[in-house]
A and B are shown apart, each in its own frame.
Chain A
Amino acid sequence: MKTGYYPGCSLHSTATEYNESVLAVVKAINDEVKEIEDWNCCGATAGHSTSAELALGLPLRNLMLAEKEGFEELLVPCAACYNLFKTAQFEVAHGQKQDLVADLEHQLGLTYQNKINVLNFIEYVLKPENIEKIKKLIKRPLGGIKVAAYYGCLLLRPHNVVGFDNPERPTKMEKLLEALGASPVRWSAKNECCGGSQALSKPELVVRLVNNIVTNARDNEAELIVTACPLCQANLDGRQINWDFPDQNKQLLPVLYISELIGYALGLPAEKWFAKHLVPPSLKA
């Protein structure tokens, strides 16, 4: 299976530890992914808020480039990019904005098939052949550490577009955590929004939402939170150390990418990733 890789802009800047740990896990299980050549930004919230052309066109150019390189599946670790890629595929499959699709096809010189299997990192890891390898390679079992699996919005909703997990009661990340020897906690904020793209424009709103999520994880005795989204990680991690965060005297909760925790369990050198966090991870690297 030829697998393409779309890191997206965050994984090349604020989320380099996500990028590095994803690629390290892929390598550790002896698999290979290849970055799409000359990929562009998916447009994120700004794109679909500004114009319908950008909403479809920016993700679609990447999907077309991936098809041109002959990839059958595409690993997209960023939840926001993943959601927009899935949305673009959904729109094309339902015959929307055909003029725009035709324009892009003409520009890139191809006939678009809309066939690539777009995977988020959890889906990729849970592929039967991958999870079996991971289970065999575990060198540092997580010893029952209590973890809150945080899904946020864009991996889950809307279900008819992304089709990943139960949108109200997701459990796939918990299954993965159990395989690593961790104890996932039961908590109710796992699919609540962190405020995502409003991080710069309406920070007070993000502070309120993040506080609700972190408090809920702490109340359910979580020792750390894991996520598969760079926006969630940046908001949950960064907001806790900022001066405007409530409950300054409470214990801060580290927020790891799921790939970092897998890499740690596989015994990969995690110090470099952990050093990027604003709330230092309590695991001994």
Chain B
Amino acid sequence: MAYNTLTMEIAELSHQPVSRCFQCQKCSLGCPVAEEMDYLPHQVVDLINKNLTEKLIGSNASWICVSCKTCVQRCPNGIDIGAIHDALKNIHFQQKLPVGVKAVADFYESFLDTVYDYGRAYELGMIVKHKLKTKNFTQDMKMGLQMFLKGKIKIAPHKINKIWEVKNLFSSVKGSE
């Protein structure tokens, strides 16, 4: 069977022995967030094996995944489904495909923007950016405010000295500057 480009890209990025999967569904049974996914973990592997990966474009599964690695731990065939979800998310970002859960993609971007700017995550900057993107200002207000009042959220960012060494790592994401 000739595999389509997307299937090949997933295989290349994730390096997973998907053909060993015998659909025991242990991954999906242990997944703490499976009930919110349109394709369950074992179904994602099945779609790759059947070369039907176009169904995974815009699927919410990769974006719901919490990277808890329970599926990886329990797979009797050593398939890291987390790595497959990472590969799918990487491809969505690279090729600007429609993402399954926009709030999650926005959060990754807000987080990494601060790492790109300072070399370290800057939570306040990230929260402000994320709130502006999602326009959801009341969510988690009580918790956020309490954390702020307890001095758990740093006001000023810390920029590392050799910031260019970190920026270089972003060349594949942002292009070189």
Decide if A58 touches B169 in the complex (CB within 8 Å): yes
Decide if B103 touches A202 in the complex (CB within 8 Å): yes
- Listed by A's residue number, 20 A-B pairs whose Cβ atoms lie within 8 Å are A10-B121, A16-B151, A40-B166, A41-B121, A48-B86, A49-B67, A50-B89, A50-B93, A51-B93, A53-B173, A54-B169, A107-B165, A153-B70, A154-B69, A157-B69, A157-B70, A193-B66, A193-B68, A196-B67, A278-B143
Minimum CB–CB distance from A61 to chain B (whole Å) comes to 6
What number of A residues sit within 8 Å (CB to CB) of B? 61
The chain B residue sitting closest to A206, CB to CB, is B66
| CB of B97 within 8 Å of the partner chain | no
What number of B residues sit within 8 Å (CB to CB) of A? 61
Tell me the chain B residues, 61-112 only, with Cβ under 8 Å from chain A. Answer: 64, 66-70, 72-73, 80, 85-87, 89-90, 93-94, 101, 103-104, 106-109, 111-112
The B interface is mostly helix, strand or loop, or mixed, namely helix
Given A13-B153, A50-B173, A192-B32 in contact, is the A198-B66 Cβ separation under 8 Å?
yes
Contact of B140 among A157, A167, A242 (CB under 8 A): A242
Instruction: Give the CA-CA distance A21 to B68 in the complex, in Å.
Output: 26
The chain A residue sitting closest to B121, CB to CB, is A9
Instruction: Give the CA-CA distance A196 to B161 in the complex, in Å.
Output: 29
Decide if B72 touches A41 in the complex (CB within 8 Å): no
Tell me the chain B residues, 33-86 only, with Cβ under 8 Å from chain A. Answer: 33, 36, 64, 66-70, 72-73, 80, 85-86
| CB of A201 within 8 Å of the partner chain | yes
